[in-house]
Structure 1
Amino acid sequence: MVTDHARPSSAVRGSALPPSLTPALVKRLVRRVTAAANAARVTTDAPYTGDPLADLPVSTPADVEGAFARARAAQGEWAAMSVRERKKILLRFHDLVLARQDEALDLMQAESGKTRRDAFLEVTDIAITARYYARSAARLLGPKRRRGAVPVLTRTTELRHPKGAVAVVSPWNYPLSMAAGDAIPALMAGNAVVQKPDTQTALTALWALDLMYEAGLPFGVWQMVIGRGESIGGALMAGADYMMFTGSTASGRRIARDAGERLIGSSLELGGKNAMLVLDDADIDRAADGAVAACFPSAGQLCVSIERLYVDEAVHDRFVAAFVARTEKLRMGASYDYSADVGSLTTQAQLNTVTAHVDDAVTKGATVLAGGGARPDLGPLFYEPTILTGVTPDMTLYDNETFGPVVSVYPVRDADEAIDRANATPYGLNASVWTGDGARGRAVAARLHAGTVNVNEGFAAAWGSIDAPMGGMGESGIGRRHGADGILKYTEPQTVAHQRVHGFTPPARVSHRTWNLAMTAALMAMRKAGVR
Structure 2
Amino acid sequence: MTSTTSQALGKDVPSTIGGVAGAPPSARAADLVARASGGKDSAPVDMHAPFTGLLTATLPQATDADARSAFAGARTAQRAWAQRPARERERFLIRLHDLVLDRQREALDLVQIEAGKARLDAFDEISATALVAAYYGKHSAKILAPRRAPGVIPLMTKAGELRHPKGVVGVISPWNYPLALTAMDVLPALAAGNAVVQKPDNQTALSALWLQELAEEAGLPPGVWQILLGRGSRIGDALVEESDYLCFTGSTPTGKALASQVANRLTGYSLELGGKNPMVVLPDADVGKAAAGAVTACFSSAGQLCVSVERIYVHESIREAFTEAFVAKTNALRLGGALDYGAGMGSLTSAEQLENVSAHVRDAREHGATVLTGGRARPELGPLFHEPTVLTDVPRQARVFTEETFGPVVSIYGYTEVDDAVARANDTEYGLNASVWSRDTDTAWRVASRLKAGTVNINEGYAATFGTVGVPMGGMKDSGVGRRNGAEGLLRYTEAQSIAAQGALKLRPFRGMPPKLWAKAMTASMRALRRLPGR
The residue aligned with 2:8 is: 15
Aligned equivalents of 1:471 and 1:519: distance in 2? 43
Quick check: 189-198 or 33-42, which moved more?
33-42
1:48 equivalenced with 2:41 (yes/no): no
Q: Which of 263, 273, 277 in structure 2 is aligned with 1:274?
A: 277
Q: Deviation of residue 114 (structure 1)?
A: 0.1
The residue aligned with 2:465 is: 462
Distance 1:176 1:531, change over 3 A: closer
Question: Does the CA contact (< 8 Å) of 2:170 and 2:239 recur in 1?
Answer: yes
1:371 equivalenced with 2:367 (yes/no): no
SS of 1:454's equivalent?
A: strand
SS of 2:91's equivalent?
A: helix
C-alpha distance after superposition, 1:388-430 (max 9, x if no partner)? 0011111111100000000000011121111010000010000
Question: Does the CA contact (< 8 Å) of 2:40 and 2:63 recur in 1?
Answer: no
Aligned equivalents of 2:51 and 2:258: distance in 1? 33
Distance 1:514 1:224, change over 3 A: same
1:181 equivalenced with 2:184 (yes/no): yes
Q: Which of 48, 51, 61 in structure 1 is aligned with 2:64?
A: 61
The residue aligned with 2:240 is: 237
RMSD: 1.1
The residue aligned with 1:350 is: 353
The residue aligned with 1:323 is: 326
Equivalent residues in 2 for 1:154-193 (5 A)? 154-193=157-196
Aligned equivalents of 2:532 and 2:508: distance in 1? 24
Identity %: 53
SS of 2:17's equivalent?
A: coil
The residue aligned with 1:497 is: 500
* TM-score of the two chains, using structure 2 as the length reference: 0.97
Aligned equivalents of 1:251 and 1:37: distance in 2? 25
Structure 1, gaps ≥5 residues long: 1-7
Aligned equivalents of 1:531 and 1:217: distance in 2? 40
Q: Deviation of residue 13 (structure 1)?
A: 2.0
The AA in structure 2 aligned to 1:12 is T
The residue aligned with 2:256 is: 253
SS of 2:371's equivalent?
A: strand
Runs of 4+ off more than 6 Å = none
Equivalent residues in 2 for 1:30-109 (5 A)? 30-36=33-39, 39-109=42-112
Q: Deviation of residue 280 (structure 1)?
A: 0.6
Aligned equivalents of 2:41 and 2:424: distance in 1? 54
The residue aligned with 1:3 is: none
Q: Deviation of residue 227 (structure 1)?
A: 1.4
SS of 2:226's equivalent?
A: strand
Aligned equivalents of 2:523 and 2:240: distance in 1? 50
Question: Does the CA contact (< 8 Å) of 1:313 and 1:414 recur in 2?
Answer: no
Question: Does the CA contact (< 8 Å) of 1:290 and 1:458 recur in 2?
Answer: yes
Aligned equivalents of 1:89 and 1:151: distance in 2? 40
Distance 1:393 1:299, change over 3 A: same
Question: Does the CA contact (< 8 Å) of 2:7 and 2:338 recur in 1?
Answer: yes
Equivalent residues in 2 for 1:58-457 (5 A)? 58-457=61-460
The AA in structure 2 aligned to 1:352 is E
SS of 1:492's equivalent?
A: strand
Aligned equivalents of 2:307 and 2:212: distance in 1? 25
* TM-score of the two chains, using structure 1 as the length reference: 0.97
The AA in structure 1 aligned to 2:270 is S
The AA in structure 1 aligned to 2:487 is A
Aligned length: 525
Quick check: 503-512 or 380-389, which moved more?
503-512
Q: Deviation of residue 362 (structure 1)?
A: 0.7
The residue aligned with 1:527 is: 530
The residue aligned with 1:5 is: none
Aligned equivalents of 1:351 and 1:412: distance in 2? 31
Q: Deviation of residue 40 (structure 1)?
A: 3.0
Question: Does the CA contact (< 8 Å) of 1:279 and 1:414 recur in 2?
Answer: no
SS of 1:357's equivalent?
A: helix
Aligned equivalents of 1:513 and 1:416: distance in 2? 56
